[in-house]
């Protein structure tokens, strides 16, 4: 699909090319700056040098615009679009994150195409293959499902085109399914569990029984396993783990088992519309009259969509919440710019998407080239980068960003200061101590060439 919602029907370069508003990119820059990426003669690899030989470079974006993750996919897309606009115009926020950026990346204007992945790996791979073949994409992004992220990791390594994950909570993305050509910015199962676990134990006590609602794919299984492993250290046991397919229309049978499990706490690992539907139905079953709710991996817009005070007092782990603007100057710049453009406070999917492009711009600028191995080595240099959640850097061993995890607690309606004040930030947990050893989940990045 096009980014205006119309169907994709070939001719990707003609239909998909879009430019951020009011920018001239490399076309307005001196010729020397526009061509400085080619100071070193590198052999052809992937879409290099064809994809970066002119004044424009192309990015392929595949996000779910239909299906159970569609709402989150659209929010994610807005973050990507704002980042492209800011990179092309040399916005002050981009310069704070990527100091060497002027306008464009290495003086080249960014254009992009958008496809609807529907959170299906095959759809995402087919779309990105078209972007590589027809548009010579130098970068792929997207995923709101970790199954998509894993599939695009494999495509990136095979085609030797860089991939930055959109939203992906599975340990496997930078674990056993990691690749040299893939990078992830967001938090994931292991870090979510290590961050929220202590608060869950402190709040509800030791030796409790937990019930899990788990989506049946790599994200759900690894997040649930990480939570089980952490809580077991405090004597918690699993009363039941109800595994449902992605996009399940009805959770009655699963919730009946939860209701009869004798659990003290329900950990809902579902995501997107599945999280909304299962939480609403759990309330209808009277489950929250007998057990507490915890959300180990927060779904953007969950509080808004479930309605009422259902999330009041509920703890959740997340990447970003807009009130972090009170602590981080770059967060305020991002929230203000996003709100001005789109008319609402950004959720963490949009923030995550924005940061992926900003971090990629920084890697390319510091590499001084679009040659993929050089860009990869720039990511792997361990450079400290300022972000909307403070200083961050990538681990060279698994290409995972070292970044804090944010713990939030839902507010009751009477506590909200405005219509978007759904959560209180209760803790910002530093990232490095949360992370497993780089090889603990089986990461083997593979070759550069």
What does the pLDDT read at residue 254?
98
The per-residue pLDDT for 40 is 59
Query: Whose CA is closest to 348, among 331, 361, 326?
Result: 331
162 token code pair = 């860089």
Average pLDDT over residues 436-443: 96
Residue 445 has pLDDT above 80, yes or no: yes
Per the listing, tokens 């101590």 go with 433
The average pLDDT across 95-110 equals 98
Q: Using CA atoms, how far apart are residues 43 and 66, in angstroms rounded to an integer?
A: 40
> Which residues lie below 8 Å from residue 17, measured CB to CB, with a gap of 6+?
58, 111, 112, 113, 135
Token couple for 362: 């920084």
pTM of the predicted protein model: 0.91
Has residue 184 got a pLDDT over 70?
yes
The yes-or-no verdict on residue 4 having pLDDT over 60 is no
Query: According to the model, what pLDDT value does residue 307 have?
Result: 84
Q: What is the pLDDT of residue 345?
A: 98
Cα angle: 189, vertex 193, 195; to 5 degrees: 120
Q: Phi and psi at residue 416, in whole multiples of 5°? A: -75, 130
Least confident of 11-20, 109-118, 253-262, 325-334: 11-20
Pair 64, 70: CB distance under 8 Å: yes
Measured at the CA of 335, the angle between CA 329 and CA 337, to 5 degrees, comes to: 105
Choose among 357, 366, 355, 333: nearest CA to 100. Answer: 366
Task: Work out the end-to-end distance of the chain between its first and last CA atoms, rounded to an integer number of angstroms.
Answer: 32
pLDDT at site 17: 40
pLDDT for 41: 76
Look at residues 16, 142, 117, 141 and name the one whose alpha carbon lies nearest to residue 64.
Answer: 117
**Mean pLDDT to the nearest integer, 141-145:** 95
What is the mean predicted confidence (pLDDT) over 243-250? 96
């Amino acid at each position: 699909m096009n980014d205006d919602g119309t169907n994709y029907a070939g001719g990707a370069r003609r239909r998909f090319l879009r430019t951020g508003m009011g920018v001239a990119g490399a076309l307005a820059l001196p010729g020397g700056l526009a061509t400085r990426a080619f100071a070193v003669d590198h052999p052809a690899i992937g879409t290099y040098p064809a994809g970066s030989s002119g004044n424009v470079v192309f990015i392929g974006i595949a996000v779910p615009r239909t299906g159970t993750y569609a709402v989150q996919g659209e929010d994610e897309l807005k973050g990507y679009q704002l980042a492209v606009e800011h990179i092309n115009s040399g916005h002050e926020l981009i310069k704070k994150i990527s100091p060497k950026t002027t306008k464009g990346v290495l003086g080249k204007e960014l254009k992009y195409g958008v496809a609807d992945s529907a959170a299906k790996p095959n759809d995402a791979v087919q779309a990105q293959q078209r972007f590589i073949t027809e548009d010579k994409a130098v970068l792929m992004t997207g995923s709101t499902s970790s199954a998509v992220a894993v599939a695009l990791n494999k495509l990136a390594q095979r085609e030797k085109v860089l991939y930055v994950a959109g939203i992906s909570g599975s340990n496997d993305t930078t674990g056993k399914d990691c690749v040299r050509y893939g990078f992830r910015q967001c938090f994931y199962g292991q870090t979510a569990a290590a961050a929220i676990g202590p608060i869950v134990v402190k709040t509800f006590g030791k030796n409790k029984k937990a019930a899990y609602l788990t989506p049946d794919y790599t994200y759900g299984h690894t997040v649930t396993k990480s939570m089980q492993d952490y809580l077991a250290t405090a004597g918690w046991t699993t009363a039941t783990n109800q595994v449902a397919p992605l996009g399940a229309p009805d959770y009655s049978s699963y919730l009946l088992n939860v209701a009869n499990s004798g659990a003290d706490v329900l950990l809902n690992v579902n995501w997107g519309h599945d999280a909304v539907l299962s939480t609403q139905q759990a309330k209808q079953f009277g489950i929250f009259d007998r057990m507490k709710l915890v959300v180990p991996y927060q779904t953007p817009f969950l509080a808004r969509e479930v309605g009422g005070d259902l999330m009041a007092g509920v703890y959740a782990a997340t990447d970003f919440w807009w009130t972090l603007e009170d602590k981080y100057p770059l967060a305020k710049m991002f929230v203000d710019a996003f709100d001005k453009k789109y008319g609402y406070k950004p959720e963490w999917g949009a923030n995550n998407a924005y940061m992926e492009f900003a971090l990629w711009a920084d890697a390319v600028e510091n590499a001084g080239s679009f040659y993929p191995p050089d860009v990869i080595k720039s990511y792997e240099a361990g450079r400290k980068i300022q972000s909307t959640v403070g200083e961050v850097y990538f681990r060279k061993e698994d290409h995972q960003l070292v970044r804090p995890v944010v713990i939030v607690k839902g507010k009751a309606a009477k506590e909200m200061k405005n219509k978007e004040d759904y959560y209180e930030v209760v803790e910002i947990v530093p990232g490095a101590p949360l992370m497993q050893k780089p090889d603990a989940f089986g990461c083997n990045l593979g070759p550069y060439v």
